[in-house]
Amino acid sequence: MRIACPNCNKEYKIQDEKLPVGKKIAVKCPACKNRIIIDLRSKSDQKKSPQASNPDEKQNTAVSFNKKSLSGMTLKYGILRTLGDLPVMPQIVQKAQEILANPDSDLKELSRLIEIEQAIATRVLKLANSTYYGMSGKVASVQHASVLLGYKTLGELITLAGISGLLGRSLKGYNLNSEELWRHSIAVAIGSRIIASRKDPEFGNEAFFAGLVHDVGKLVLDQHVYQRKDDFEMVMGDGQQTFLNAEKKILGFDHSEIAFELCQKWQIPSNQRVAIRFHHYPSKSKGHELAYILHMADCIAMMNGYGTGNDSMMYEMEEGTLEFLCFQDKDVNAIRSQVLESVEKMLEKMPAA
């Protein structure tokens, strides 16, 4: 059984055979010496005699995790062993990214990609006509779009059109409807590009794609979070914990670790993969610039209301992020309004699939 001390949050694993089933016991936290109450009674017994008439006891009751469910490395390896069941990146998106990354490729290769996929072509056309791309209503065909918007932008349109079905899903474990993850992903993609382009305009497309898929780990973890809904509610019940912290406490790892593995399977280049791995704590990335960019864009998306749940306002930008990227507070405000305006323009023609 894994428990967390309610005083110092330190987590411990206690061998199940050492625990007296059906009883309530007290142990001392080895780290802070706080007295921890562990309630091992069944849920129905706990209901019959609600714990802790004494507020002190209530406060010291340990956060314990469902011992029937797997967690930590066992669960992580279990998920990774079934790589074949993980979400598949649409082939068209993979192809478009390959073409964009190859300096010798050209517009013809991209156009050929969508010729056979009518549904994608329709979405590309719709998106090309959004005010975001400045061509409102003027683009009549995909060929026309490629001439007016250029090769890189066409690649981006194919990517967006191809991936919207994957990111536009509802996630019941995370409590997200089908629009929320999509809007958040678009906001982080746009923010990442705006931030990256301030550093180096060439860097914009790479940052856009990494921002778009940065939270794909949630697609994989959703069913496992859902199965442990009670544990998540218990950990997050006091409103003091983010979903990210709860993932760590309950599962033993978070969605960025799973996203990293998934991106490996999708053959996403290492620079983007590492950035996605550290998008919540870029200071651990050993100075990876794109990780800081994704983190800043993620926080800006949440500040703008494009979050992924009720706890969005609790996420804070990691200390040192602005200094690392050589930005000041006034830059955050400017980028924030730029993102807000751009996301609305893009989403008007591109709701989730």
Residues at the interface with Fe ion (CB under 5 A): 215, 298
Nearer to Fe ion, 146 or 321 (CB): 321
Nearer to Fe ion, 231 or 298 (CB): 298
Nearer to Fe ion, 257 or 298 (CB): 298
Identify whether the C-beta of residue 154 lies closer than 8 Å to the C-beta of residue 174. Answer: no
d(CA 299, CA 188): 9
Nearer to Fe ion, 125 or 291 (CB): 291
Handedness of CA 251, 257, 261, 262 (dihedral sign): positive
CB 302 → Fe ion: shortest distance, Å? 8
Q: What are the beta bridge partners of residue 4?
A: 11, 63
Residue 44: how many other CB atoms lie within 10 Å? 7
CB 276 → Fe ion: shortest distance, Å? 9
Identify whether the C-beta of residue 67 lies closer than 8 Å to the C-beta of residue 1. Answer: yes
CB 314 → Fe ion: shortest distance, Å? 13
CB 37 → Fe ion: shortest distance, Å? 33
d(CA 186, CA 208): 9
CB 7 → Fe ion: shortest distance, Å? 28
Buried b (16+ CB within 10 A) or exposed e, 302-336: bbbebbbbebbebbebbeebbebbebeeeebeebb
CB 313 → Fe ion: shortest distance, Å? 13
Nearer to Fe ion, 278 or 324 (CB): 278
Q: Is residue 28 within a helix (H) or strand (E), and if so which, with residue range?
A: strand 24-28
Nearer to Fe ion, 204 or 282 (CB): 282
Nearer to Fe ion, 63 or 219 (CB): 219
d(CA 35, CA 27): 6
Instruction: Please name which of 293, 340, 314, 179 lies closest in space to residue 246, comparing C-alpha atoms.
Output: 314
